[in-house]
Amino acid sequence: MTIQVGTDTAKTRRTLSAGAQSVSYYSIAAATEAGLGDFSKLPAALKVVLENMLRFEDDGRTVSTDDVKAFAKWAEQGGKNPIEIAYRPARVLMQDFTGVPAVVDLAAMRDGIKALGGDAQKINPLNPVDLVIDHSVMIDEFGNPRAFQVNVDREYERNMERYQFLKWGQTAFDNFRVVPPGTGICHQVNLEYLSQTVWTDQDQNGEEVAYPDTLVGTDSHTTMVNGAAVLGWGVGGIEAEAAMLGQPISMLIPEVVGFELTGKMMEGTTGTDLVLKVVEMLREKGVVGKFVEFYGDGLDNLPLADRATIGNMAPEYGATCGFFPIDQETLRYLEMTGRDKGRIALVEAYAKANGLWRDADYAPVYTDTLSLDMGTIVPAISGPKRPQDFIALTDAAEAFGKYVRGVREGKDTTPRAEMRWEGEGGAPEPFDIPGDEGHHARGFVHGGQADRSQMHDGSIVIASITSCTNTSNPYVMIGAGLVARKARELGLNRKPWVKTSLAPGSQVVSHYLEAAGLQKDLDAIGFNLVGYGCTTCIGNSGPLEPEISKAINDNDLIATSVLSGNRNFEGRISPDVRANYLASPPLVVAYALVGDMNVDISKESLGQDKNGNDVFLKDIWPSQQEVAELVERTVTRAAFQEKYADVFKGDDKWQAVEVPQQETYDWPPASTYVQNPPYFQNMDPNPGAIEDVRGARVLAMLGDMITTDHISPAGSFKETSPAGKYLVDRQVPPREFNSYGSRRGNHEIMMRGTFANIRIRNEMLDGVEGGYTKGPDGEQTSIYDAAMAWQERGVPLVVIGGEQYGAGSSRDWAAKGTALLGVKAVIAESFERIHRSNLVGMGVIPFEFTGGDSRRSLGLTGDEEVTIEGLADVRPLQEVPATIKMADGSEKQITLRCRIDTEVEIDYIKNGGVLHYVLRNLAQAPVAAE
């Protein structure tokens, strides 16, 4: 690949030697010598961004000398100087749920540019793009040796149309690679193989240039790789597509919060316990839109696997990223995971030469700081519905009981519409499911029949070792295997009503679990391999046994799940499960043995051994030394090199997928998975003006922390839903519905799934959950049907929300669906970073209430009309007048802050979105000479 760099490079370009290599690089110290400012006290994370400015300085397009000088002022001003800059990441990472619609957009852009008289070959990624298929495997089969193969076979049956489309994209587009199904999770593959910490490429003059590894990804947990000092974060697919096509990312120089880690983890605690505490602390601190950089002597005791876990959870604590500078541990990890020796030498030399190395003297300026002694960390879980809801393990059973009482007394903040137990004196008595006698509690054997069972609030029906967050960490995975071994030796087993699963983030995990002999122990208690993918963490937990599902729903039980994932939002894990808890893999195993959240596993018996003696958690918990010795022996450089040797090849099934070799995609008209989206059809070659929003009606009025899972769910849906009806009308049986996530290549499905989460609550309706609102006639109807009815009348729509609107996943369909429903503006108290950007990228304007106003203080019901003026000449972050016409005809005048944050976003809105902006520019650009 050739990298385009600035033309005025002499003042900051230097030469670096590392072993036998000699490369050019852009020197931050040289920038100081050239009089551009003192950058010595910048955090390493910000120096990576500064290097990006130096490399593209005076390129005639986006970066000026003033942009470089602004970083020196940032340090002088105590870590604040929020000016707009144009940042160019080196590469893009995708997964298939977000990647399919991105490739759909690129294919549609090829059609669109031809319609505008342009060259289809201009629609090609200019930066390297890797797409890892990891979101599609679902846990249909579990708890037996055939689970993995059955799930893989079913995955291909469900997703062949999507896989054919992605494989076409791999052949049609330059700089685009696909990692096939069954390989691993994109963030773990990125951490273990794709990332390099420091890249080298030739510039336009043929010189080899070294520069920091940077990326953006179409998944919010792209931040995981920051644990290896690779600066990356999640963006929506639309923003990623623009970056692929050479469009710089417009951003403000961020604040950087320093998080000091001191001390050392105590016996009995894990990296998961640490990260759950970090999430709680940073959510309380408030770091939305900021970088967090970890520093302090505690890093000397923190393996890179634990750092990656903390980096992974950045979306959960709200930061753009959680960055760890390069140090000796970074080099050790690169060595262990099989990176080239010369590359490792370059990483060290580059980091030391350009001020990115952390040593005992590392003391940068931060915007703000906080500190944590890792010696104070205790075993913990988080839940039942937010990652930041930290609960010490000793308090878990009591906290769950309090949650249940709140639900039953009608005090839960999100009550179920169908709840039957409000005002009836608490939960129902346990009941029996008919079947064979002989077991005190639940007794399903997968694929068999039920025996005697008692189900109640708190029954754990899912226990899943899942997600790159933790399966990338050999310390907690080996720990889980040792818990299983000790439990097995004592004669303990999972409770048979618990659906257990093991879905590692890469094949390397299976290698070391097998090498340690631990996979047999995990198999023995039901944690058989079910696939290499995200599974339960993204809602692909698969169906529960019919009897279990019926028992939960017929009796309105609060069933629970325990998973080693990163998110536990309502309605995400399973439609049958209301309370979800995040935990370390060893605790997931322990909870599977108990099967009940009401049990205090920190001190109560987990069960009885072969001799009838009580077994406690301490009896099966491994020591840190046991874990460390097995990690040292089984997690090897050779294993990483072997498993990643043919990472793009795939299995026989993938190799058998046949696709046509053609420049544009031949959209199959009958496909229910991939359809040509309407964004670029009949597009005017010239942009328009930003129009005021006049007489808009409210489509939905929502509460605080409405996540992108609420707005655009990824999981299953019923045949009675608008999406289900669409498929039934096209003769697709419900068993073939798959999920919203797998059908993101079809805008017709995704429009119908927007605001359709089963747990979303529209405050326009009284106590109703699900994707419902009032239609033009004032009657309750689906949000999709109401939106279409308003569109027929030519009436624009707005959505009103509370704090942290759009938290969670980076999914672009939360913005795409909003736009396609006819929503012109979203008005909220505050926005999460990625979703705000996605809304702008789709031409939807985000606004924030000002002066203490909110939907509650204004007394809004959703029956109002909203007019927002002054948009024709709006500037970034400008305050504009709005008029709210109440249902009784009275009017309220308020002021809104327009959250178009940068100048280039003004252009995006004028064009109707970022892709329209890019497409028009490419269509008008001259064809480059051969």
Tokens of 763: 């405050």
- Least confident residue range of 97-106, 178-187, 297-306, 791-800: 97-106
3-class DSSP state of 15: strand
Query: CA 761 → CA 56, 404, 508, 783, distances in Å?
Result: 47, 19, 42, 12
Backbone angles phi, psi at 901, to 5 degrees: -90, -25
Q: Residues 363-389: what's their mean pLDDT?
A: 96
Exposed, middle or buried by CB within 10 Å (0-12, 13-18, 19+), for 450?
A: buried
3-class DSSP state of 534: coil
d(C-alpha 605, C-alpha 100), whole Å: 47
d(C-alpha 783, C-alpha 702), whole Å: 13
DSSP single-letter state for residue 563: E
Peptide bond into 384 cis (omega under 30): yes
In 3D space, the residue among 309, 237, 322, 240 whose CA is nearest the CA of residue 269 turns out to be 309
Residue type for 127, please?
N
- Residue 335 makes CB contacts below 8 A (sequence gap 6+) with 341, 344, 637
pLDDT of residue 738: 85
- Residue 494 makes CB contacts below 8 A (sequence gap 6+) with 463, 500, 525, 526, 592, 593, 595
Classify the C-alpha dihedral 783-784-785-790 as positive or negative: positive
3-class DSSP state of 585: helix
Query: CA 109 → CA 119, 371, 660, 913, distances in Å?
Result: 11, 48, 19, 13
Q: In what order do the strands lie in the sheet with 231-234?
A: 176-179, 129-132, 91-95, 214-217, 231-234
Assess contact for 475 and 631: CB atoms under 8 A. yes
Assess contact for 219 and 94: CB atoms under 8 A. yes
pLDDT of residue 61: 54
pLDDT of residue 9: 55
Backbone angles phi, psi at 776, to 5 degrees: -55, -25
Let me know the angle formed at the C-alpha of 704 by 701 and 707, rounded to the nearest 5 degrees.
90
pLDDT of residue 227: 98
Task: Write the pLDDT tens digit of every residue in 691-747.
Answer: 999 999 999 999 999 999 999 998 889 999 999 999 999 999 998 998 898 899 999
Assess contact for 474 and 507: CB atoms under 8 A. no
Domains and CATH numbers, the chain: 2-77 (no CATH), 394-410+441-635 (3.30.499.10), 693-923 (3.20.19.10)
pLDDT of residue 575: 87
Query: CA 668 → CA 128, 155, 206, 675, distances in Å?
Result: 28, 21, 43, 7
Quick one: pLDDT band at residue 63, thresholds 50, 70, 90? confident
Task: Write the pLDDT tens digit of every residue in 793-848.
Answer: 999 999 999 999 998 777 889 999 999 999 999 999 999 988 999 999 999 999 99
Quick one: pLDDT band at residue 59, thresholds 50, 70, 90? low
DSSP 621-674: PPPHHHHHHHHHHHS-HHHHHHHTTTTTT--HHHHT------SS----TT-SS-
Give the residues across from 258 on adjacent strands: 293, 369
Measured distance between the N- and C-terminal CA atoms of the chain, rounded to whole angstroms = 17
Average pLDDT for the chain: 91
d(C-alpha 572, C-alpha 357), whole Å: 40
Task: Write the pLDDT tens digit of every residue in 419-458.
Answer: 222 222 222 222 222 222 222 233 333 333 333 358 999 9
Q: Where would I find the H helices in 366-473?
A: 396-408, 468-471
pLDDT of residue 6: 61
Quick one: pLDDT band at residue 563, thresholds 50, 70, 90? very high
pLDDT of residue 449: 36
In 3D space, the residue among 928, 915, 678 whose CA is nearest the CA of residue 820 turns out to be 678
Q: Is the pLDDT of residue 577 over 90?
A: yes
Quick one: pLDDT band at residue 35, thresholds 50, 70, 90? very high
Q: Is the pLDDT of residue 926 over 70?
A: no
Assess contact for 548 and 576: CB atoms under 8 A. yes
Tokens of 671: 């496909």
pLDDT of residue 830: 96
Q: Is the pLDDT of residue 925 over 80?
A: no
pLDDT of residue 427: 26
Q: What is the pTM of this model?
A: 0.85
Question: Counting runs of H as helices and runs of E as strands, what totals does the chain give?
Answer: 31, 35
DSSP single-letter state for residue 501: E
Q: Is the pLDDT of residue 182 over 70?
A: yes
